[in-house]
Chain A
Amino acid sequence: MPGDARPKGIFKNLTAKIAAIPMVLTAMVVFLGCSVWTIVYSFTSSKLLPKTRWVGLDQYERLWGSRRWLVSIENLAIYGILALVLSLMIGFMLAALLDQKIRFENTFRSILLYPFALSFIVTGLVWQWILNPEFGVQNIVRAMGFENFIFDPLYNADIVIYGVLIAGLWQGTGLVMCLMLAGLRGIDEDIWKAARVDGIPTWKTYVLIVIPMMRPVFITTLVIITSGIIKLYDLIVAQTGGGPGLASEVPAKYVYDMMFLSQNLGQGFAASTMMLLAVVIIIIPWAYLEFGGKRHV
């Protein structure tokens, strides 16, 4: 640790302390201060402006009684679980394919990762166009002779979230693939050799040896994807606007709409506090696993 280089007295570090002021301000004022502020004000009846009229858990009761919030939660759950499972599976399989000492590995990787460089807005708009029933996939399959083919996820309330999922997976799997590839590359070549000598089939080596060894990579990836999923917002705004009806609403959009469109700040604060709670529930066990035992930050 470079801490060994620490000068003796604490006054000697004055410049360093001054240089760290932006970090201290960001940590204390924005991350800590603003979060606490929002949590505190979620117990008030704030409407257009924040007010300190305390109403206890009223906002939360109203929140969990609102159909729109329940739909948002349900959507996020469906999207989240599927996005998590599918992107981990697809990402790992792509990484395993790229790890076969193939030619053009860089080309393939560039192609699979480029959507990740694009914004969710761009992603949402492209897939809105491709999934457009009048011109897109449905139209093409119909033109091939299947007159009654129906594929209109963005216009069908029951399946709209899967339409969003298609776009989300297209954008995000490349990242998972990259993380997994880094994980695979971190596995000692000798393990593969040993498995080969013992005559263990490749798929079995992956399932029984490699994947268990990559547990930390999987956990980290899981945390990254999950904290991204909870923030899901831009994609919905661009691709469906929350529609048809309320069918593709998500919590982050609920927060924004309550705060900035419906002049219902209290609801927005309560909803965002629930989002924070969800993150805390996911992050704490992870942080415990990662940093609990031995400190190696």
Chain B
Amino acid sequence: MSDSTNPMARRDHTHDSVEPDGPRPRHRLSGRNIMIYGTLIMISLYYLLPLYVMVVTSLKGMPEIRLGSIFAPPVDITFEPWVKAWSGACTGLNCDGLSRGFWNSVQILVPSTLLSIAIASVNGYALANWRFRGADVFFTILIIGAFIPYQVMIYPIVILLREMGLYGSLSGLVLVHTVFGMPILTLLFRNYFTSVPVELFKAARVDGAGFWRIYLSIMLPMSLPIFVVAMILQVTGIWNDFLFGVIYTRPENYPMTVQLNNIVNSVQGVKEYNVNMAATLLTGAVPLLVYFVSGKLFVRGIAAGAVKG
């Protein structure tokens, strides 16, 4: 279990050394290759299609949408839908666009990510290096908890937040994200810190360093990659959340996903498909950006996150 974060990395390594030296034999146009690349290209096009449709639809005017095909590239490129989606689209009575949801999401995302990572990394460190009685029990409950459907816990959490006076506020949602991010992040950090050589820890102990000192000056600097992985995991997860947002915040605090859904699926008024697609793209832009910038680390994050469940 503990090495499932890096099978890919390890294998990449062996890959290099197994590869024979010298130029590869060239028969690129063999039937087999045509099959493989042909299939992959077809499938890739299918996967890219929705992104393409979103982009072209968001750049067309409504008359053009009504006349043409959704796959046709725009004749008259207009950025009007983007402007409207950002600052003028309506949800119910409000017509101030997605920008509000965006800023709400930012206000939720930043503290949730920082708080959950800070707490989970210290937890993981305590579990890996300072094992104490009962730790395994709590940790097991925490991991099992990751499998419990959220629906089982949402209502009691409403009561808890109401008691704390946080129900409906952004801070309440931050707390919820921190709590539900804990199992996976704790696991991630625990496994990572476990792989740090014990000798380092022992040496620091001998030198008289305490809990926080070892964490801050040894563990933290050594584990920046895993912090990045955790960040990717949290940023995409929290940004994409819908359920918690819709339950634990008031309409004026709705995160972007909830507001997007309200804009697109609102029943009143004429449907403006171009504005809807611009809004959808705007909401998807943050995780997409994270995804394309982070590359391999994203893959590592989901492999770590997913394999450990």
Check if A2 sits within 8 Å of B198, measured CB to CB.
yes
Which chain A residues lie closer than 8 Å to B129 at the CB level? 2, 5
| Distance of B85 from chain A, by nearest CB (Å) | 12
Interface residues in A180-217 (C-beta closer than 8 Å to B): 181-182, 185-186, 189
Interface residues in A244-297 (C-beta closer than 8 Å to B): 251-252, 255-256, 259-260, 265, 268-269, 271-273, 275-276, 279, 283, 296-297
Which chain B residues lie closer than 8 Å to A113 at the CB level? 291, 298-299
| Distance of A292 from chain B, by nearest CB (Å) | 14
Please report the C-alpha to C-alpha distance between residue A102 and residue B241 in the assembled complex, in whole angstroms.
35
Check if A189 sits within 8 Å of B151, measured CB to CB.
no
Please report the C-alpha to C-alpha distance between residue A22 and residue B123 in the assembled complex, in whole angstroms.
8
Main secondary structure of the interface of A (DSSP, over half): helix
> Which listed segment binds B: A11-19, A56-64, A81-89, A149-157?
A11-19
Which chain B residues lie closer than 8 Å to A77 at the CB level? none
| Distance of B167 from chain A, by nearest CB (Å) | 12
Residue in B36, B260, B264, B307 with the greatest tally of chain A CB atoms within 10 Å: B307
| Total count of chain A residues near the partner, CB < 8 A | 104
B227 sits at the interface (CB 8 A):
no
Which chain A residues lie closer than 8 Å to B50 at the CB level? 115, 123, 126-127, 130, 170
Please report the C-alpha to C-alpha distance between residue A122 and residue B50 in the assembled complex, in whole angstroms.
10
B268 sits at the interface (CB 8 A):
no
Please report the C-alpha to C-alpha distance between residue A34 and residue B150 in the assembled complex, in whole angstroms.
10
Check if B44 sits within 8 Å of A112, measured CB to CB.
yes
Interface residues in B275-309 (C-beta closer than 8 Å to A): 276-277, 280, 283-284, 287-288, 290-292, 295-296, 298-299, 302-303, 306-307, 309
Check if B149 sits within 8 Å of A23, measured CB to CB.
no
Please report the C-alpha to C-alpha distance between residue A125 and residue B58 in the assembled complex, in whole angstroms.
13
| Distance of B125 from chain A, by nearest CB (Å) | 8
Residue in B7, B138, B186 with the greatest tally of chain A CB atoms within 10 Å: B138
Check if A22 sits within 8 Å of B36, measured CB to CB.
no
Check if B287 sits within 8 Å of A119, measured CB to CB.
yes
A55 sits at the interface (CB 8 A):
no
**A106-130 CB contact bits vs B (8 Å, 1 = yes)?**
1011111111111111110111111
Which chain B residues lie closer than 8 Å to A115 at the CB level? 47, 50
Interface residues in B241-264 (C-beta closer than 8 Å to A): 241-243, 247, 257, 260-261, 264
A223 sits at the interface (CB 8 A):
yes
Check if A185 sits within 8 Å of B11, measured CB to CB.
yes
Q: A32-B141, A115-B50 are in contact. Are A5 and B198 (CB under 8 A)?
A: yes
Check if B69 sits within 8 Å of A19, measured CB to CB.
no
Check if B57 sits within 8 Å of A185, measured CB to CB.
no
Please report the C-alpha to C-alpha distance between residue A26 and residue B177 in the assembled complex, in whole angstroms.
12
Q: A5-B201, A129-B277 are in contact. Are A26 and B145 (CB under 8 A)?
A: yes
Check if B202 sits within 8 Å of A5, measured CB to CB.
yes
Please report the C-alpha to C-alpha distance between residue A16 and residue B141 in the assembled complex, in whole angstroms.
18
| Distance of B256 from chain A, by nearest CB (Å) | 9
Interface residues in B129-152 (C-beta closer than 8 Å to A): 129-133, 135, 138-139, 141-142, 144-145, 147-152
Which chain B residues lie closer than 8 Å to A185 at the CB level? 7-8, 11-12, 15
Which chain A residues lie closer than 8 Å to B194 at the CB level? 1-2
Please report the C-alpha to C-alpha distance between residue A170 and residue B48 in the assembled complex, in whole angstroms.
10
Q: A118-B284, A135-B70 are in contact. Are A16 and B132 (CB under 8 A)?
A: yes
Which chain B residues lie closer than 8 Å to A271 at the CB level? 151
A80 sits at the interface (CB 8 A):
no
Q: A16-B130, A139-B69, A140-B70 are in contact. Are A27 and B153 (CB under 8 A)?
A: no
Check if A97 sits within 8 Å of B182, measured CB to CB.
no
Check if A129 sits within 8 Å of B53, measured CB to CB.
yes
Check if A119 sits within 8 Å of B123, measured CB to CB.
no
Interface residues in B162-212 (C-beta closer than 8 Å to A): 179, 182, 186, 193-194, 198, 201-202, 205, 210-212
Out of A117, A136, A283, name the residue touching B288 (CB < 8 Å).
Answer: A117
Check if B145 sits within 8 Å of A30, measured CB to CB.
yes
Out of B36, B125, B153, B303, name the residue touching A35 (CB < 8 Å).
Answer: B153
Check if A122 sits within 8 Å of B280, measured CB to CB.
yes
B216 sits at the interface (CB 8 A):
no
Out of A16, A33, A126, A259, name the residue touching B155 (CB < 8 Å).
Answer: A259
Q: A19-B126, A31-B144 are in contact. Are A125 and B260 (CB under 8 A)?
A: yes
**A62-94 CB contact bits vs B (8 Å, 1 = yes)?**
000000000000000000000000000000001
Residues of A within 8 A of B (CB): 1-7, 10, 13, 15-17, 19-20, 22-24, 26-35, 37-39, 50, 94, 97-98, 100, 102, 106, 108-123, 125-130, 132, 135-136, 139-140, 143, 170, 174-175, 178-179, 181-182, 185-186, 189, 220, 223-224, 227, 230-231, 233-234, 237-238, 241, 251-252, 255-256, 259-260, 265, 268-269, 271-273, 275-276, 279, 283, 296-297
Q: What are 27 A-to-B residue pairs whose CB atoms are below 8 Å? A: A4-B198, A5-B129, A13-B131, A15-B210, A17-B126, A23-B119, A32-B141, A38-B152, A108-B44, A110-B291, A111-B44, A114-B292, A117-B236, A119-B287, A125-B264, A135-B69, A178-B303, A182-B303, A185-B11, A185-B15, A231-B151, A233-B243, A251-B151, A256-B154, A259-B154, A268-B151, A272-B149
List 5 A-B pairs, minimum CB-CB distance, nearest first. A31-B145, A119-B240, A16-B130, A117-B291, A34-B156
